[in-house]
Structure 1
Amino acid sequence: MKFYYPLVPALIGVSITLVQPQKALALSEAEIAKVAKAITVEIDNQNGSGTGIIIKREGKNYTVLTAKHVIEAQAKYEIVTPEGAHYSLNYSTVKKLRDVDLAVVQFTSNQNYPVAKIGNSDESTEGTTAYVAGFPRVTAAISKSIYNFTDGRITANAASKPLRDGYALIYSNNTLAGMSGGPVLNDKGELIGVHGRADEVDIDRKSGFNLGIPINTFLRLSLQAGVDVGIRPPATPVATAPKADDFYIQAQDKLNKGNYPGAIADFNQAIKLNPQYAQAYLGRGITQARQKNYQEALADYNQAIRLNLKNPEAPLAYIFRAEVRDKTQDLQGALADYNQAIRLNPKLPFAYGYRGIVRKRLGDLQGALSDANEYIRLDSTTTAAYVFRGNIRAQLGDNLGAITDFNQALRLNPKNAEAYFERGNSRGTLKDWKQAITDFTQALQINPNYAEAYYLRGSVRYELGDKRGGVSDWERAADLFLQQGKTEFYQQTLNLIKQFPQ
């Protein structure tokens, strides 16, 4: 019989003063990267890791600033300095600041480590450059924590009206779990914030909504916690009418919580106060798209692109617009947007992944394979990239190459049901029936509602003579297809049951 299957989409000293005798000059990105690496430490324990910033030295004692949630639980922690030296952290010396996600820890060393130069976070406004450094957490894909340094732009500074836990800086840098507590630096290499949170649109794509706590917030609260870094903050800003930034940060917070009407209302206010606020248009577009208001989303993405063409974040607007064009069946428009995003920034791995999906849907399997190869070359730690390339290889008839990709995907994430399903598909095509059944069964153990896995397992069972087991799997697949609104696959499965009875 024919082996049926549907396609599945897929910072020396403490005498620094805040006000410098002369204005500091901007540094090159390479110079800032060197500064960041010298002041950034890893905070490690057996359950994970985070990041910290060296902000003070007194003799052999160093003070490290971090996000409170990094050292929230009492445990055995170590400070790992840039050159790889390990120092124990005495948890009884930890000082957690009230009402903000900040804490300070200490370690002792005979070595001479640089100390962060404190900046004035009030001067970090929309459009200014921001750099974030840290140590991504070890995962199945990342076997060793490797220092990471990324550039971006400040998209909002709502210090006068922060979110809960003191978060008020928003920036577009691409960050990863484990970088919490890391430094946010300006273009002079000065510490302006502490990174703490990041929002993801999906598993591998950021929305540009990264959150940090302004360093001025720390300076204003530190003495209350018994921490004196020898620097006094600027005067507390006089309360003023809300700024566009204030509405923007509230809107993004509401968007993340699923309060779409509230988010739209706040984005509207941000745009009313600042009609040139490209990120507000982008955020409103994302909100509209999540509500399937695609024409409104397209209008906002168009405006974001017009306002944002010369900024490093411009590719993101093209990618979001491409997504909406894809959903409205404008595949050529989506392809053109992905092409433009890649021209603007050829180092965005996921852009190749999404373009590859569109190319596949347009029947360009070789183009899709080329994009999958580039995705993996730029980022070899994303499970989805291997699953996608494996799927393309299978469709091109290279099932052994496909199985190699699915094996790698499962090494990165042993609980990826799709990788088991796709490997089972390729094994079935190669008539490795028993291993195919094992893979489909594993996929179903991870995802009991995986209709396609029931469908293909039924096909293999029937092929092996287990007609009752095969039809039983098909019947379960049909029920799930109907529940999931996949009417075409539902009807296809019913026809199969009629054609091949028990």
Structure 2
Amino acid sequence: MKVNFSFKTVSILSIFLTTLLLSALYQNIAPARPPILPKKIATKQLCQTAAKFTVKIISGESWGTGILVQKQENIYTLVTNGHVLKDKTEKFIVETGDSQQYQASLLVNFHHGQITGNDLAILQFNSPKNYPIAGLAKWENEERVMAVGFPTDVNVTNSNNGGLTCTKLGNVSEYLAKPMQSGYQIGYQLTIFNGMSGGPLLNNRGQLVGIIGMGEPIIFVNPDIYLYKDGSRVTESLAISSEEALDFLSSLSWAIPSETLVYLSPSGLELNLESLESGR
């Protein structure tokens, strides 16, 4: 059987095949779409978000700060600094943002004060109420951060938030390649005060990227304040002179990364880092 193709038919077929070829080539060379990031939050809203999962930990006449990181039925899990609980034998009271108080039990203290330890502790309390929990994330390059907590100095306390204080957004100036003794690794340009230890270091998307707890030294500064877990000095690992390194390190406040908490969390807590595509 003889088949005749008209010029018009051949032209249409040629255009169709060319379109398919160009489409395939474009898919191979087109740049990948960037991930959909959680929306950045305004400073005021960021503080309001933090207030929902940031709690005060009261022990005797003193207090520190904690962060709600998990809820399983009526059991809430929170993280704070180990030094907030150090040498304290009395019961721990957790005060939530709605001024409710709960007796908390210590689940684990990660050996604060030991060379290989981390300045973290996990507590739990029981409540039928529904409190938000923090989303954990890894700090990403160039993200700005905010520190949150309950300072003991009334001169820096924000009375409108029940004593909760939020700093302005600041920059992370150093992320050490390995943690110092007690686990501190993120150095940022914000001032924290007594009572804020154990509070959240948030990125500008409202995610928990670190647990604050080591401020600028208020006594004589010496290189032995900044040591890695193997005992070596941090000042000798930076690409500047030891004197310049000490001035630089002591000008920063320090936090323990959220991924350290995830790594250390006991079996059953199921703490995970949020992906960049997820938001709160």
TM-score by shorter chain over 0.5: yes
C-alpha spacing 1:227/1:173, structure 2 compared with 1 (3 Å): farther
1:232 Cα deviation from its structure 2 partner: 5.7
Distance of 2:155 and 2:52 partners within structure 1: 28
Aligned equivalent of 1:169, options 162, 168, 186: 186
- Paired residue for 2:262? 219
Q: Is the 8 A contact 1:220 1:233 kept in 2?
A: no
Distance of 1:140 and 1:94 partners within structure 2: 34
- Paired residue for 1:114? 132
1:75 Cα deviation from its structure 2 partner: 1.6
Distance of 2:175 and 2:156 partners within structure 1: 34
Distance of 1:22 and 1:198 partners within structure 2: 34
Structure 2: 5+ residue stretches without partners: 1-34, 112-116, 220-249, 276-280
> Which residues in structure 2 correspond to 1:135-146 (within 5 Å)?
135-137=150-152, 146=163
Distance of 2:205 and 2:172 partners within structure 1: 14
- Paired residue for 2:74? 60
The 3-state SS of whatever aligns with 1:193 is strand
C-alpha spacing 1:107/1:46, structure 2 compared with 1 (3 Å): same
TM-score (normalised: structure 2): 0.66
Question: Cα RMSD over matched residues?
Answer: 2.6
Aligned equivalent of 1:86, options 98, 101, 109: 101
The 3-state SS of whatever aligns with 2:216 is strand
1:139 Cα deviation from its structure 2 partner: 7.1
- Paired residue for 1:153? 171
> Which residues in structure 2 correspond to 1:219-238 (within 5 Å)?
219-223=262-266, 226=267, 228-231=269-272
1:22 Cα deviation from its structure 2 partner: 3.7
Instruction: Read off the aligned partner of 1:43 and give its amino acid letter.
Output: I
> Which residues in structure 2 correspond to 1:36-55 (within 5 Å)?
36-55=50-69
Q: Is the 8 A contact 2:135 2:274 kept in 1?
A: no
> Which residues in structure 2 correspond to 1:120-139 (within 5 Å)?
120-121=138-139, 123=140, 125=141, 127-137=142-152
> Which residues in structure 2 correspond to 1:359-374 (within 5 Å)?
none
1:227 Cα deviation from its structure 2 partner: 5.4
Q: Is the 8 A contact 1:184 1:191 kept in 2?
A: yes
> Which residues in structure 2 correspond to 1:156-305 (within 5 Å)?
156-158=174-176, 160-200=177-217, 208-223=251-266, 226=267, 228-231=269-272
C-alpha spacing 1:106/1:138, structure 2 compared with 1 (3 Å): farther
Instruction: Read off the aligned partner of 2:184 and give its amino acid letter.
Output: Y
Larger helix share, 1 or 2 = 1
C-alpha spacing 1:168/1:230, structure 2 compared with 1 (3 Å): closer
TM-score (normalised: structure 1): 0.38
Q: Is the 8 A contact 1:97 1:222 kept in 2?
A: no
C-alpha spacing 1:82/1:188, structure 2 compared with 1 (3 Å): same
Distance of 1:66 and 1:48 partners within structure 2: 14
Q: Is the 8 A contact 1:133 1:184 kept in 2?
A: yes
Instruction: Read off the aligned partner of 2:183 and give its amino acid letter.
Output: G
C-alpha spacing 1:141/1:183, structure 2 compared with 1 (3 Å): closer
Residue 96 (1) aligns with residue 109 (2):
yes
Size of the alignment, in residue pairs?
A: 202
The 3-state SS of whatever aligns with 1:27 is coil
Q: Is the 8 A contact 1:173 1:208 kept in 2?
A: no
Instruction: Read off the aligned partner of 2:192 and give its amino acid letter.
Output: T
1:118 Cα deviation from its structure 2 partner: 1.1
- Paired residue for 1:460? none
Q: Is the 8 A contact 1:38 1:113 kept in 2?
A: yes
Aligned equivalent of 2:91, options 64, 76, 99: 76
1:62 Cα deviation from its structure 2 partner: 0.4
1:74 Cα deviation from its structure 2 partner: 2.2
Distance of 1:140 and 1:27 partners within structure 2: 27
1:170 Cα deviation from its structure 2 partner: 0.9
Distance of 1:56 and 1:154 partners within structure 2: 26
Q: Percent of counterpart pairs with the same letter?
A: 28
1:163 Cα deviation from its structure 2 partner: 1.0
Structure 1: 5+ residue stretches without partners: 1-20, 235-502
The 3-state SS of whatever aligns with 1:69 is helix
1:128 Cα deviation from its structure 2 partner: 2.8
Distance of 1:140 and 1:213 partners within structure 2: 27
1:83 Cα deviation from its structure 2 partner: 1.4
> Which residues in structure 2 correspond to 1:403-422 (within 5 Å)?
none
1:115 Cα deviation from its structure 2 partner: 0.5
Structure 1 runs (4+) deviating above 4 angstroms are: 138-142
**More contact order relative to length (CA 8 Å, sep ≥ 6):** 2
